[in-house]
């Protein structure tokens, strides 16, 4: 079935780091509005904006203290409405972030709940101490126990993430009603859909269950059996308002794709974690085989209208893909950035490009823990120090993996603060701003930016890339990702060398009889695939 979001290309904006219009060092709503023209030029159809609601910012907006208020860091409701109007004029749709697994501990619901206000007392998950201690030994995703003792209520409350992010109680009808009200309020603000945060965590196991499987450390509160009941209820609200939905669904496997994103699924799409869960740092051996297998599993699980994929290589929680899977040295940055682009943009599904990915932004180095902002990284750093690492070793370790790599300010030009702001930004600017920025990328016909533009146009002009069948082609060379897209009118082959080593590639001879439509090398060599070489052939 044809729907707008299957044909669309999305772009994720992390507002704090996108564009600062009032020079206070923090990106804002007017900054997004200013750059809509840029996104239009790239070919973007919708933007997903990560949380801009009132928040004490313990987890940069993923700890909401008022769902219906805009944080003053980002602007006002008036400015948001102007953004919506301007986006409509440019035919760019807006997807908001819906964070309903937890709130901030500064939300007034939490305040009332800890005071045992009868209307709010069960809005969160409370438990009396067991033998004077936490009810169990489960560990939270950001580290430490999932339980924190509240002196006012004299009970423990549950948190999947940090203690500043208490989990909502999805068994409370009153709480659910409030969430539904809030969703409907936002639907009436002219938005087109939601990315739904941490949604696979809303159901928990019984408290006496063990949670010590090292392969699935959060199993007891991740995609737990019975979660479907809550999700089905939510789905009726989304449908009623014709909202597009993409759920963040860690722990959901390809076998469950149809239940989650099929015709009667909970969401239109989900962000699955199987391929990014394999993410390694640049120095480790790359798991090419498993990486391809994970992508192929999801392609096949969603084939024949059984579901629909959300395609992504980056987001605000992951280090930059070129630094991990490609090569961020000046020799291969552009080539590997294009290879990764071709590998994922032509799969079946809706692509989500993360800000800066389209210009090949890379990881940075953090020279002191004071330069780091991400809560989980700071926790990890202190753990490493406790475990005997030197400061230098600990910094090296966290620099490679921290999600702050994705959050450094967007590099618009080569000026002191990269054209993001005229003031020192909230997070350091990557030192490579002089050679990696939008201005240079726009000027260079062979840039990553222009390659993305071409891939987007291919998707728009050739329906085969949207609805055509996906066919995986086995290769002997593990680092080579070879697949085809086919419909009755057209057939294409995509061949990408994901590695820095040359690959002999047996099918090349056959393929060279076909028309080469796009490639990331300017000259052509029939005999092999060079480092990170990517080719798109139209099959005759
Ligand atoms: C997933 C979000 O993407 C991440 O940034 C956040 O820290 C957690 N959920 C908690 O909301």
- pLDDT tens per residue across span 165-214: 999 999 999 999 999 999 999 999 999 999 999 999 999 999 999 998 98
pLDDT score of 161 more than 90: yes
What pLDDT digit, counting tens, does each position of 405-431 carry? 999 999 999 999 999 999 999 999 999
pLDDT score of 507 more than 80: no
Beta strands 93-98 and 46-49 are parallel
pLDDT score of 279 more than 80: no
CA 369 to chain centre: 24
Task: Calculate how far, in angstroms, residue 370's C-alpha sits from the geometric centre of ligand 1.
Answer: 21
On the 0-12 / 13-18 / 19+ scale of CB atoms within 10 A, 56 is middle
Res 283: pLDDT: 59
Band the pLDDT of 525: cuts 50, 70, 90: confident
Identify which of 180, 198, 149, 166 has the alpha carbon closest to the alpha carbon of residue 102. Answer: 166
91 has catalytic annotation = no
CA atoms of 283 and 400, how far apart (whole Å): 9
Band the pLDDT of 31: cuts 50, 70, 90: very high
Among 3.50.50.100, 3.40.50.10090, 3.90.400.10, 3.40.30.10, what is the CATH number of 101-169?
3.90.400.10
Identify which of 113, 122, 124 has the alpha carbon closest to the alpha carbon of residue 152. Answer: 113
- Residue 167 makes CB contacts below 8 A (sequence gap 6+) with 101, 102, 124, 125, 157, 158, 159, 160, 201, 202, 204
Res 280: pLDDT: 66
Start and end residues for every CATH 3.90.400.10 domain found in the chain: 101-169
Count the Cβ atoms, other than its own, within 10 Å of residue 416: 13
Q: What is the mean pLDDT of the segment spanning 339-356?
A: 98
What pLDDT digit, counting tens, does each position of 74-125 carry? 999 999 999 999 999 999 999 999 999 999 999 999 999 999 999 999 999 9
Band the pLDDT of 287: cuts 50, 70, 90: confident
Residue identifier of the C-alpha nearest atom 6 of ligand 1: 62
CA 135 to chain centre: 33
pLDDT score of 535 more than 80: yes
Residue 273 Cβ inside 6 Å of ligand 1? The answer reads: no
CA atoms of 33 and 512, how far apart (whole Å): 45
Of the chain, the end-to-end C-alpha distance in Å amounts to: 27
Band the pLDDT of 502: cuts 50, 70, 90: very high
Identify which of 207, 211, 102 has the alpha carbon closest to the alpha carbon of residue 160. Answer: 102
Least confident of 48-62, 174-188, 204-218, 433-447: 204-218
- Measured from the Cα of 142, ligand 1's closest atom is 7
Q: Are 30 and 370 in contact (CB under 8 A)?
A: no
Band the pLDDT of 284: cuts 50, 70, 90: low
| 8-100+175-316+349-435: CATH topology | TIM Barrel (3.20.20)
On the 0-12 / 13-18 / 19+ scale of CB atoms within 10 A, 143 is middle
Instruction: Find the catalytic residue in 150, 167, 248, 484.
Output: 248
Secondary structure (DSSP) of 223-278: S-TTHHHHHHHHHHHHHHTT-EEEEE-TT--GGGHHHHHSTT-SSSEEE--TTGGG
pLDDT score of 281 more than 70: no
> Which token pair is 455?
């891939």
On the 0-12 / 13-18 / 19+ scale of CB atoms within 10 A, 381 is buried
Res 506: pLDDT: 62
CA atoms of 331 and 336, how far apart (whole Å): 9
- Indicate the helix (H) or strand (E) that contains 516: strand 515-519
pLDDT score of 3 more than 70: yes
More confident residue, 434 or 504: 434
Start and end residues for every CATH 2.60.40.1180 domain found in the chain: 462-538
Residue identifier of the C-alpha nearest atom 11 of ligand 1: 62
Res 282: pLDDT: 57
Res 508: pLDDT: 67
Name the phi and psi angles at 342, rounded to 5: -70, -35
pLDDT score of 55 more than 80: yes
Q: Are 76 and 28 in contact (CB under 8 A)?
A: no
Residue 198 Cβ inside 6 Å of ligand 1? The answer reads: yes
Res 80: pLDDT: 98
Instruction: Find the catalytic residue in 150, 155, 167, 197.
Output: 197
The CATH code of domain 462-538 reads 2.60.40.1180
416 has catalytic annotation = no
């Amino acid at each position: 079935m044809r729907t707008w979001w299957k044909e669309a290309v999305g772009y994720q904006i992390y507002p704090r780091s996108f564009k600062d219009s009032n020079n206070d060092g923090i990106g804002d709503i007017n900054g997004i509005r200013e750059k809509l023209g840029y996104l239009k030029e790239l070919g973007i159809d919708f933007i997903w904006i990560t949380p801009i609601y009132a928040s004490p910012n313990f987890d940069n907006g993923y700890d909401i203290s008022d769902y219906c208020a805009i944080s003053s860091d980002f602007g006002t409701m008036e400015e948001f409405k102007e953004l919506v109007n301007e986006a409509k004029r440019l035919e760019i749709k807006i997807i908001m972030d819906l964070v309903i697994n937890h709130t901030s501990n500064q939300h007034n619901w939490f305040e009332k709940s800890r005071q045992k206000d009868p209307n709010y007392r069960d809005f969160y998950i409370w438990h009396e101490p067991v033998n004077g201690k936490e009810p169990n030994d489960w560990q939270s995703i950001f580290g430490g126990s999932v339980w924190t003792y509240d002196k006012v209520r004299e009970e423990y409350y549950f948190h999947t993430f940090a203690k500043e992010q208490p989990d909502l109680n999805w068994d409370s009808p009153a709480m659910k009603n409030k969430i539904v009200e809030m969703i409907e309020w936002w639907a009436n603000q002219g938005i087109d859909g939601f990315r739904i945060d941490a949604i696979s965590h809303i159901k928990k196991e019984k408290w006496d269950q063990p949670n010590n499987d090292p392969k699935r450390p959060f199993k007891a509160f991740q995609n737990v059996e019975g979660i479907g009941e809550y999700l089905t209820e939510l789905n009726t609200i989304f449908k009623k308002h014709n909202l597009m939905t993409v759920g963040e669904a860690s722990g959901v496997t390809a076998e469950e794709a149809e239940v989650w994103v099929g015709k009667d699924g909970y969401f239109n799409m989900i962000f699955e974690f199987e391929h990014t869960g394999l993410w390694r740092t640049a120095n480790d051996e790359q798991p090419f085989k498993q990486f391809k297998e994970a992508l192929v599993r999801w392609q096949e699980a969603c084939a024949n209208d059984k579901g629909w994929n959300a395609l992504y290589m980056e987001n605000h929680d992951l280090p930059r893909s070129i630094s991990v899977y490609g090569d961020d040295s000046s020799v291969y940055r552009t080539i590997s950035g294009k290879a990764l682009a071709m590998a994922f943009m032509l799969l079946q599904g809706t692509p989500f490009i993360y800000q800066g990915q389209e210009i090949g932004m890379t990881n940075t180095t953090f020279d002191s823990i004071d330069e780091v902002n991400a809560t989980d990284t700071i926790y990890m750093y202190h753990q490493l120090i406790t475990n005997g690492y030197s400061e230098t070793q600990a910094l090296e370790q966290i620099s490679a993996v921290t999600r702050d790599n994705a959050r450094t300010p967007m590099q618009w030009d080569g000026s002191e603060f990269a054209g993001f702001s005229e003031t020192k930004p909230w997070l350091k600017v990557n030192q490579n701003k002089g050679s990696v920025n939008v201005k240079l990328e726009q000027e260079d016909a062979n840039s990553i930016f222009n390659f993305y533009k071409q891939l987007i146009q291919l998707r728009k002009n050739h329906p085969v890339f949207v609805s055509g069948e996906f066919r995986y082609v086995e290769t002997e060379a593990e680092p080579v990702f070879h697949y085809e897209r086919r419909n009755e009118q057209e057939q294409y082959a995509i061949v990408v060398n994901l590695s820095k080593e040359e690959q002999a590639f047996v099918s090349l001879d056959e393929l060279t009889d076909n028309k080469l439509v796009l490639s990331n090398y300017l000259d052509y060599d029939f005999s092999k695939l060079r480092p990170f070489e990517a080719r798109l052939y139209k099959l005759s």
